[in-house]
């Protein structure tokens, strides 16, 4: 006689598995269909009834098998979200915007961090496919093959690209106008008398970096400063800003203003100036991009191009909901308008500026 390879269930587990929706309905004094609506978090159920049914579920020890329910339903009410640098506060704000929309739609997100690796990204996408997510919000990793969009279409997985984009339009996309943001920064610096303006950061050839560099190039030429163009390519981390600004300050003549790829670089650059005994905003103007919360709290407060990460997240999630509801609809691109948030890291050129802040010779860079 063959023995079963399955481990014996505990009495408690067996009892839990034997509880049915009809048992819960009888215990709560409602219909079986009402129990089903409560389990699916339907807004059609009155709060008092929902509370009574949930109490019965807990009392009877019932565990809802959401995976089995998803196999029976057309939607899983889950959305995949893939970003490339989860440590950047920008993405924390963006994901908060995504979740604010998903919560109202009774959706939850599966969040993954590609670390800008197409291989790691592909692994996450395959896992999300296995989990039958209803759609995907994708910040493409550097070097992502545009053929990925065709693959996702073959999987019947609606995809909204966020911040970066690959492939040829039309495609669904939510982001901000990076070109305009950099042009705003250049125009502001020129109005303050700056001419030697350098753009710091961005070595990857993806859409967001290309847009920033194009905005810088166009604005400098429009201001008649094409002969002093200066783009320093490289990583976009706080440490890269810290080290890059110190190298720039050794040049002759050195720049009087630096626009950074993001706020983390700009914050690092201000520390780098302080390490040299220089005053950010007076000895060299610094402008960041994104306007993360730390920008307003730094010393001096950082002038930054606000790119609205929370709103980008909201718009991306709303677009995903529309695409899930209407897979064959016209593709959409939602582009938000950036805004230059002027603070004290960006003063007139040193010859005309006044010292506003004391020096910080003991500033250090967190590892």
pLDDT tens sequence across 222-244: 999 988 889 999 999 999 999 99
My answer on whether 186 and 155 are in the same domain is no
Q: How is residue 50 written in tokens?
A: 């929902």
Q: What is the DSSP letter of 81?
A: E
How far apart CA 158 and CA 351 sit, in angstroms, is: 55
The DSSP H or E segment spanning 199 is strand 197-200
How far apart CA 38 and CA 50 sit, in angstroms, is: 6
Residue 73: predicted pLDDT: 62
Any domain includes 367: no
Residue 245: predicted pLDDT: 97
Tell me how many domains the chain contains: 3
Phi, psi of 208 (to 5 degrees): -70, -40
My answer on whether 58 and 103 are in the same domain is no
How far apart CA 248 and CA 226 sit, in angstroms, is: 19
**Enclosing domain of residue 98:** 78-176+310-336
Any domain includes 230: yes
Any domain includes 170: yes
How far apart CA 294 and CA 264 sit, in angstroms, is: 9
Residue 227: predicted pLDDT: 84
In the chain, which stretches have pLDDT less than 50?
A: 1-16, 352-367
My answer on whether 53 and 112 are in the same domain is no
Out of 37, 64, 91, a domain closes at 64
My answer on whether 51 and 195 are in the same domain is no
Residue 204: predicted pLDDT: 74
My answer on whether 96 and 159 are in the same domain is yes
My answer on whether 185 and 281 are in the same domain is yes
How far apart CA 275 and CA 306 sit, in angstroms, is: 27
Report the CATH number at residue 279.
3.40.50.2300
Any domain includes 362: no
């Amino acid at each position: 006689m063959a023995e079963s390879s399955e481990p014996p269930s505990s009495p408690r587990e067996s009892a839990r598995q034997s509880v049915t929706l009809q048992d819960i309905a009888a215990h709560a004094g409602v219909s079986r269909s009402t129990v089903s609506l409560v389990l699916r978090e339907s807004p059609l159920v009155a709060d008092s009834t929902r509370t009574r049914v949930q109490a019965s579920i807990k009392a009877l020890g019932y565990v809802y098998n959401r995976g089995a329910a998803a196999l029976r339903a057309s939607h899983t009410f889950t959305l995949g979200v893939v970003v490339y640098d989860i440590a950047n506060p920008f993405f924390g704000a963006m994901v908060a915007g995504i979740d604010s929309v998903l919560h109202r739609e009774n959706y939850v997100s599966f969040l993954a961090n590609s670390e800008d690796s197409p291989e790691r990204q592909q692994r996450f996408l395959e896992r999300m496919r296995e989990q039958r997510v209803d759609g995907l919000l994708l910040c493409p990793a550097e070097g992502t093959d545009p053929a990925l969009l065709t693959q996702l279409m073959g999987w019947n997985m609606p995809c909204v690209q966020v911040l970066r984009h690959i492939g040829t339009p039309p495609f669904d996309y939510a982001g901000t106008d990076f070109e305009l943001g950099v042009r705003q920064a250049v125009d502001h610096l020129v109005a303050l008398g700056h001419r030697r303006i350098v753009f710091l950061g961005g070595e990857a050839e993806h859409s967001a970096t290309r847009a920033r560099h194009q905005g810088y190039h166009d604005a400098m030429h429009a201001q008649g400063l094409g002969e002093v163009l200066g783009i320093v390519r490289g990583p976009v981390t706080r440490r890269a800003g810290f080290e890059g600004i110190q190298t720039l300050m050794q040049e002759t003549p050195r720049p009087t203003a630096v626009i950074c790829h993001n706020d983390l670089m700009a914050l690092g650059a201000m520390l780098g100036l302080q390490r040299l005994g220089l005053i950010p905003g007076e000895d060299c103007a610094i402008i960041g991009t994104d306007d993360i919360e730390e920008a307003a709290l730094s010393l001096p407060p950082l002038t930054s191009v606000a790119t609205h990460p929370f709103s980008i997240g909201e718009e991306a999630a709303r677009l995903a909901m529309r695409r899930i509801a209407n897979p064959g609809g016209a593709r959409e691109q939602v582009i938000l308008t950036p805004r230059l948030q002027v603070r004290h890291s960006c003063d007139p050129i040193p010859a005309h500026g006044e010292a506003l802040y004391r020096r910080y010779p003991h500033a250090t860079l967190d590892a």
